[in-house]
Structure 1
């Protein structure tokens, strides 16, 4: 089994903005004003956008493999969460999204049933969809100062 590790190095200074350079692309995650400087999406928005981007990218790959003329695709991802926990307030809910909904409009010469089957296959092949749908082990640790490359 070939395992590929994808690593992201993000840095935050004295404000809420978190910066990363990924393959030459400068990205910013920020919070809206007044707390942040609104330089970019929040981590939650970026998470949902990442899921939409993954679904669309896998759709493009699958369409090419299946010789489907995929003229375009609109993917809307919405997530519902109780923000009390992330704000440090007591809650019985988990801190993460309680549910995530993906709605896709597929521009291709397929019946609605074929479009649904295609979307089902795409979501089954999407690594981010998989990580959200199934349990993934996440480990966190404190790194010694100056040890992060």
Structure 2
């Protein structure tokens, strides 16, 4: 069984959206952009963090695979975009609830690699644990904790 991940998220009562995220000894800030009423853009928004988690896992997975194969991998870059769009077979496209989330991943691979190796790395990029989690059936169990 894999280790359970625990992160702590906190918004103090005097903040509107600026959120402190803690994972072990690491602390990050999240916020809404200024174009959202009350947002102060003190940090990336939650979807930015979602994309960053997917992107960092993707590149780490590619790097591990290429290292194991002893391929001459140079710098690797990934640009991710998130948007909501209607499915191609949308029955009721006027309903905003009919939109689906789409994440586009554009991979740039530097290094002395063949086209076949690059295609294999693209395939490997789809097998990182976060990618697989996002494409699986996810259960989120929400509960209230007693006040401390």
Q: Name the TM-score class by shorter chain.
A: 0.7 to 0.9
1:111 matched to 2:118: no
Superposed displacement of residue 46, structure 1:
1.1
- Quick check: 1:18–1:29 contact (8 Å CA) kept in 2? yes
1:133 matched to 2:138: no
What is the root-mean-square deviation of aligned Cα atoms in Å?
1.8
Superposed displacement of residue 108, structure 1:
2.1
1:92 matched to 2:97: yes
Q: In the alignment, what sits opposite 1:11? A: 10
Q: In the alignment, what sits opposite 1:64? A: 67
Three-state SS of the structure 1 residue aligned to 2:126 is helix
Displaced runs of 4 or more, over 3 A: none
Q: In the alignment, what sits opposite 2:57? A: 54
Structure with the higher fraction of residues in strand conformation = 2
- Quick check: 1:19–1:28 contact (8 Å CA) kept in 2? yes
Structure 2 portions without partners, runs of 5+: 86-94
**TM-score, structure 1 as length reference:** 0.81
Structure 1 portions without partners, runs of 5+: 83-89
Aligned residues: 135
Superposed displacement of residue 136, structure 1:
1.9
| Aligned counterparts of 2:134 and 2:115: Cα–Cα separation in 1 | 26
| Aligned counterparts of 1:140 and 1:93: Cα–Cα separation in 2 | 25
Three-state SS of the structure 1 residue aligned to 2:113 is coil
**TM-score, structure 2 as length reference:** 0.82
